[in-house]
Structure 1
Amino acid sequence: MNATWVDDSDDDVYVRSRHRRQRQRLRSASVASTSTILPSTADEGDEFCEIIEEDDAEADVLFASEVIDLTEDESQRLILPHRPNETELDSIVAPCGLTVKPTNCIQISDTYLGELKINFLQVTTIIRDYDGATFIRGIPFTRVRHLNGKLRDRLNEVCMVLHQHRQPGKKPDSPVLVDVEPQRVIRWRTLIVTNAPFPVHAVDINRYARSRSLEQKRIAAEKSAHIVCRWSITITYSITATNRNKAEEELLEHLRSDDLLDAKYRVSDKEVSELWRGPRQRGGGWKTTAESLKSLNIPISRCPGQTYTLFDSFSGAGGVSRGAQDAGFKIRYAIDKEREV
């Protein structure tokens, strides 16, 4: 993943906004099966401004070019690198009284990017369009709990959401930014983008709501503590004549040192790798010593009919499962994310 992209796409890509009540009948098995943005029609019960200390470091802007609307506009809108007649603003005062500027990280109310709930936005630009409407544009983040179990749910851990569009025979377009309306703003949040493994920079829950229950501490920390991003999920859509918004690929990646601009939160990739899998040993980790050799003449005790089992979690057309079955394995499960399989 690189810090900048070059956008060479001249093709128009359409998205359609829908009300939340329509989302149930349009959902598919994918985490984010469409690039449509669906804001909730329900108000958040705790929608108020709380001023949290802002991060003084420069924002880690990891991608920029195209835009998706997180608005309630029912019309189709183009996703273009630069929309005509847009004016950049230095700041904006949200209806809740919060002043929002580029590089701020803000918490936003119940808003969806396809299937995926968006909780936070790292602001890159504030724009006013040709109709005089004002939007806050930036990089979307979701709490890891909304990734359908792809990552373990940890307090205030978030994942960056990158959307790309791919046309047949072409490389994927640059990841898109999103637009939200000022009334969606709840409060400022401090965002730490790091490639350090958990629990480095993690929230200390004991600092919040002392002498209260664990659940009360968690609620207080979720409202006001800093948030930490260590992962990104890239969702690539295939754009065809019959289906312009089909999720074709999902890629979940741990951030690398090259993705970060702030050295304070950067760890060498070698160190991260060794913490995950152990140190590397020059010449190889396997030593053919007498202690490592095992006799091949030891009989194997096996009950009648006993065999190995197999769980094929990416079965596709079933070739692996069929081959394993022919080899004597017992196929316990064979699943695939595609409905057609």
Structure 2
Amino acid sequence: MSSPSPSPDYIMIDDDEESLIEILNEWNFDDEPVTVPETIVIADEYDRTTLERIVYNGHNYRVGKLSAAELEDQTFVGIDGIFSVSLEQNQEPQYYITGPLYRRARDSFGILGRKRNEVSMFEESVMVPLSDAIRPRRIIRTNAPYPDHNPPCERDDQIGPLVCRWKITHTAKQTKGTVRRLSIEEIPLPKYRWSRSALQRFHRGRVSQGPSHESGKYTFGDGFCGAGGVSRGAKDAGLQISWGFDHDPKVITAYRGNFRNTMGYELDVYDFINIARENDMSVDILHVSPPCQPHSPAHTTEGKNDEINEAAGLGFGDVVDAVKPRIVMLEQTHGILRRQLWFRSYVERFTSLGYSVRWGILPTMEFGVPQSRIRLIIFAAAPGESLPPFPSPTHRNGHATLLPLTTVREAIGNIPPTATYHDTVDTRFEYWRPPVFQWDGQVATILTKGMQRDHDIHPDGHRRFTVRELACFQTFPHYHTFYGCNTDVKKQIGNAVPPILAKVLLQEIRYTLEEVDQEEEVLEVIELEDDNEEGSDDDLVIIEPQA
């Protein structure tokens, strides 16, 4: 059966997409419900009165830059506004507060750690009845590193001031989202603001003033580099590749053969960390692709290397800590979403180091890869750096401004007959077989074993795909070399990040760094505002406790 090309009206669901749909259908947060107050709409015809302060049920609530109310469900609402609404004549008015919604850090799905007195912002503005409030609180918004401004007393966790450093946004099933440090504009009081340069100096020991390399290029390090898919994309994106490391001797041989002016280290992650801590291995941009096999949807039985691969995967945080890049890109199989604790541990490892995080599931087909591969991509920005957006799709059939999807013909139709790993004789069948993929369509996800056996049929039906053709489906150029037997090379190809995807992602990171470095930081001299904000009692409204 042939696979039609995806179009705006018809998209074929293949195994990779089916596994993603299965993951999303299974995933729920019933054990950790997200509490968001119900949206309240007040009609214009109702009489609304704005208040600055009110005593309600014996508690003094007021509008202020540090003011907040703790709600019955243990969330918090900042008090940007208080107002009363008379729904009918001669009826007691109803009182409401509006402001940002906060949750305790320890109730933030495990992605911010269990820090006392810390909260995170979940919504910029909500409106709730004042009757839901149980007591007033103070919330300090700051971008200062933890634990600055955090009250030292344990008792303060229940009655004292709280500190917000992070804002979290994500979809219901966390298929995309951000956890980022508050921006300067979101911090109302100047005394709690740190400048970009101060944050950079605190984190890296110096202020970032442009590309690190003498050539004027941003430097790049490739962790778990494999045969060099991401490094190939980094080179095409205009970056200076400083180093790559991988523990597999065949893989690192292939890497060194492709990037002869780059240091390729044959080391496992923990040996590399030791070297990086003893030497200056800092780079502007770091990429890490921890082993994905334990998290892959295709991984249905326990493997002998699962524990080793999982331990190596956890080591990426120590690489980040040792190298201290400005921006990190992490690539993983979307199957890690099935293992919620692992995914959350990845995000928490970044935030524990002060990095803002953006994650999303990207269909590689929309970036010029002629296969249905779907990957989880994470961007992380160090303190004082801007968090890059994800690039917009470059390919989509039937779209007026985007390129059409790359086809099988475009991917493998012009391979030179002299190309390595391109044996079209030994791959021939004894009899013709009906092809699964057509010349003008795309193929399924390339695996570490190449193609699934019943998919491994060239569009002409007379042979299997060659190893070089598999590399082309992964968007490796014809001149990219590999090392080992066909089985080794297929594994190197299947484990790789498609270079064309890496190029688009790393270009977006480069553009963000260029934009930040070209901005001249303006440090305003602002008289520190009084954060006491007691005000006068001239407009104080007192509501007696209700029976």
TM-score, length basis structure 2: 0.34
Contact 1:159-1:230 within 8 A present in 2 as well? yes
Query: Following the alignment from structure 2 to structure 1, what is the Cα–Cα distance between the partners of residues 133 and 84?
Result: 17
Unaligned stretches of 5+ residues in structure 1: 1-26, 39-67, 70-77, 112-117, 163-174, 206-217, 238-245, 303-307, 332-341
Query: Following the alignment from structure 1 to structure 2, what is the Cα–Cα distance between the partners of residues 138 and 281?
Result: 35
Contact 1:108-1:121 within 8 A present in 2 as well? yes
Letter in 1 for 2:106: R
Corresponding residue to 1:202 among 119, 125, 150: 150
User: Structure 2 vs 1, CA of residues 31 and 235 (structure 1 numbering), >3 Å: closer, same or farther?
Assistant: farther
Q: Deviations over 1:165-224 (max 9, x none)?
A: xxxxxxxxxx53221333x3333323211111112112213xxxxxxxxxxxx3x23123
Contact 2:50-2:81 within 8 A present in 1 as well? yes
Structure with bigger helix share is 2
Q: Deviations over 1:236-273 (max 9, x none)?
A: 79xxxxxxxx9985322101223223111111022213
Query: Following the alignment from structure 1 to structure 2, what is the Cα–Cα distance between the partners of residues 79 and 129?
Result: 8
Query: Following the alignment from structure 1 to structure 2, what is the Cα–Cα distance between the partners of residues 255 and 83?
Result: 37
Across the two proteins, how many residue pairs are aligned to each other?
A: 218
Contact 1:32-1:235 within 8 A present in 2 as well? no
Corresponding residue to 1:154 among 115, 133, 141: 115
The answer for the alignment partner of 2:185 in structure 1 is: 258
The answer for the alignment partner of 2:158 in structure 1 is: 223
Contact 2:99-2:125 within 8 A present in 1 as well? no
Corresponding residue to 2:51 among 67, 72, 89: 89
Contact 2:140-2:164 within 8 A present in 1 as well? yes
Q: How does 1:257-276 map to 2 (within 5 A)?
A: 257-276=184-203
How much has 1:274 moved relative to structure 2? 3.8
Structure with bigger strand share is 1
RMSD between aligned residues: 4.3
The answer for the alignment partner of 1:314 in structure 2 is: 334
Query: Following the alignment from structure 1 to structure 2, what is the Cα–Cα distance between the partners of residues 264 and 286?
Result: 36
1:106 matched to 2:88? The reply is: no
Query: Following the alignment from structure 2 to structure 1, what is the Cα–Cα distance between the partners of residues 52 and 210?
Result: 56
Q: How does 1:184-195 map to 2 (within 5 A)?
A: 184-195=132-143
Query: Following the alignment from structure 1 to structure 2, what is the Cα–Cα distance between the partners of residues 109 and 283?
Result: 46
Query: Following the alignment from structure 2 to structure 1, what is the Cα–Cα distance between the partners of residues 198 and 206?
Result: 9
Query: Following the alignment from structure 2 to structure 1, what is the Cα–Cα distance between the partners of residues 96 and 213?
Result: 58
The answer for the alignment partner of 1:336 in structure 2 is: none
Query: Following the alignment from structure 2 to structure 1, what is the Cα–Cα distance between the partners of residues 126 and 267?
Result: 60
Rg larger for: 2
Query: Following the alignment from structure 2 to structure 1, what is the Cα–Cα distance between the partners of residues 34 and 267?
Result: 53
Q: How does 1:117-132 map to 2 (within 5 A)?
A: 119-131=75-87, 132=93
Unaligned stretches of 5+ residues in structure 2: 1-26, 88-92, 216-241, 245-252, 258-263, 269-289, 296-331, 336-360, 364-371, 376-444, 451-489, 496-547
Q: Deviations over 1:47-100 (max 9, x none)?
A: xxxxxxxxxxxxxxxxxxxxx34xxxxxxxx378x78432223332222x1121
1:144 matched to 2:105? The reply is: yes
Query: Following the alignment from structure 2 to structure 1, what is the Cα–Cα distance between the partners of residues 179 and 95?
Result: 32
User: Structure 2 vs 1, CA of residues 187 and 178 (structure 1 numbering), >3 Å: closer, same or farther?
Assistant: same
Contact 1:30-1:247 within 8 A present in 2 as well? no
How much has 1:136 moved relative to structure 2? 2.3
| Identity, % of aligned positions | 21
Contact 2:77-2:102 within 8 A present in 1 as well? yes
Query: Following the alignment from structure 1 to structure 2, what is the Cα–Cα distance between the partners of residues 227 and 301?
Result: 44
Corresponding residue to 2:96 among 135, 144, 153: 135
